[in-house]
Amino acid sequence: MLTRRTLGRAAAALAAAPALPAIARAQGSWPDRTVTLVVPWAAGGSTDAVARILAQRLSQDTGRSFVVDNRTGANGTIGFNSVARARPDGTTLLVSTVSTYAMAPWLLPLPYDNERDFVGIGRLATMPIIMVVNPSFPARNVQEFVAAARQPNHRITYANSGTGSSTHLATELFLQEAGLTIPDVGYRGGGPAVQAVLANETPMVFQAASGILPQIQAGTLRALGIASAERSPLAPEIPTFAEQGFRGVIVEEHIALQGPAGLPAEIIQRANQVFKAAAEAADTRQRLAALAVVPTVTTPESWPAYFAAENAKWRDMIRARNIRLQ
């Protein structure tokens, strides 16, 4: 029989017992409170749009709030640094991009350790990158472009949307594979670079599909190749570079999910599961497709090998092409 004295002793025992750490409490029921998704790019961009679509679905699926926090600047490294300093309790995660976790380390000094300060939860989505030219340019495929660029006294240039950007490095990877050196014309962002090709200020640009598919479909830009391992369901008529003899030209805009180092394995696995379910939901797929984004959720176990391979690939290319931020 429970007496007032028994209840008092039980309450005293509970009060005296050490409280479970917040991280331990979070493991079994994640998310048990609001989760902040740090996006290291400005609101309105493609990464931000993907994060907000996922946050809305995650809030619906879990009954907890997922909020997007844009921490911009320094090629994404300001947002990365804020997550590196966050508590590893599952309340702060990073919606990251390959340009910051695999390209930026070889272009500028970092305020954090790129390998040790984060854990990889998995890739989330992919945006194809496409090489396009102004329709007045005579090439209709990649081989014809290369042949034109090998002609003596050619005056071919390409639009560079920003030194060190994924599309800039994709262009340089192609030029390396083709054995070409072509001068670039710098622009402040992907939009102005595409507009320059539309206006025929410069004939060629590499750009994420989201920024050029409407123009390709309208015939105001001509697609020569897509830098994916396979043809994209978003534009199945565009051949890959590999199909055209350039097997090393595989570059995509990867969006991934990372957390601060020390994040418990249980939270990592649970986060991967709920993000996978959210990304692959039918309504999410439809909304992402409108942005030319394809869900490609991978496992935490596959992250280390992928992360190492991407970093090695871009380190070697950046050094070989002697690319430097001005």
> Shortest CA distance to 307 belongs to which of 256, 233, 245, 242?
256
Instruction: Report the pLDDT value the prediction gives residue 49, as an integer from 0 to 100.
Output: 94
CATH code linked to domain 128-244? 3.40.190.10
Instruction: Report the pLDDT value the prediction gives residue 325, as an integer from 0 to 100.
Output: 84
N-terminal to C-terminal alpha carbon distance within the chain: 78
Cα–Cα distance, 183 to 168 (Å, whole number): 12
Token match 């079994």: residue?
28
Q: pLDDT of the chain along its 326 residues, tens only?
A: 333 343 344 333 333 333 334 443 444 589 999 999 999 998 988 899 999 999 999 999 999 999 999 999 888 999 999 999 999 999 999 999 999 999 999 999 999 999 999 999 999 999 999 999 999 999 999 999 999 999 999 999 999 998 889 999 999 999 999 999 999 999 988 999 999 999 999 999 999 998 899 999 999 999 999 999 999 999 999 999 999 999 999 999 999 999 999 999 999 999 999 999 999 999 999 999 999 999 999 999 999 999 999 999 999 999 999 998 86
- Note whether 97 and 256 are within 8 A (CB): yes
Q: Do domains 35-126+253-320 and 128-244 have the same CATH topology?
A: yes
CATH among 1.10.3720.10, 3.40.190.150, 3.40.50.300, 1.10.20.10 for 35-126+253-320: 3.40.190.150
Integer-rounded Cα Rg, in Å, for the chain is 23
Pairing state of beta strands 118-133 and 204-208? Answer: antiparallel
Instruction: Report the pLDDT value the prediction gives residue 25, as an integer from 0 to 100.
Output: 40
Instruction: Report the pLDDT value the prediction gives residue 17, as an integer from 0 to 100.
Output: 36
Q: Residue 280 is encoded by which pair of tokens?
A: 């692959």
Instruction: Report the pLDDT value the prediction gives residue 157, as an integer from 0 to 100.
Output: 98
Cα–Cα distance, 106 to 6 (Å, whole number): 65
- The torsion of the CA quartet 52, 58, 60, 63, rounded to 10 degrees, works out to -130
Does the pTM of the predicted model rise above 0.75? yes
In the chain, what are the domain boundaries? 35-126+253-320, 128-244
pLDDT tens, position by position, 216-269: 999 999 999 999 999 999 999 999 999 999 999 999 999 999 999 999 999 999
Instruction: Report the pLDDT value the prediction gives residue 28, as an integer from 0 to 100.
Output: 55
CA 240 to chain centre: 20
> Shortest CA distance to 264 belongs to which of 4, 62, 96, 27?
27
Strand partners, 59: none
> Shortest CA distance to 169 belongs to which of 105, 82, 88, 238?
105
Instruction: Kindly report the backbone phi and psi dihedral angles of residue 203, in degrees, each rounded to the nearest multiple of 5, phi listed first.
Output: -85, -20
Instruction: Report the pLDDT value the prediction gives residue 303, as an integer from 0 to 100.
Output: 98
239's CB contacts (< 8 A; 6+ apart) are 141, 225, 226, 231
Summary count for the chain: helices (H), strands (E): 12, 10
Cα–Cα distance, 39 to 36 (Å, whole number): 9
Instruction: Report the pLDDT value the prediction gives residue 29, as an integer from 0 to 100.
Output: 86
Cα distances (angstroms) measured from residue 298 to each of 18, 168, 197: 38, 26, 35
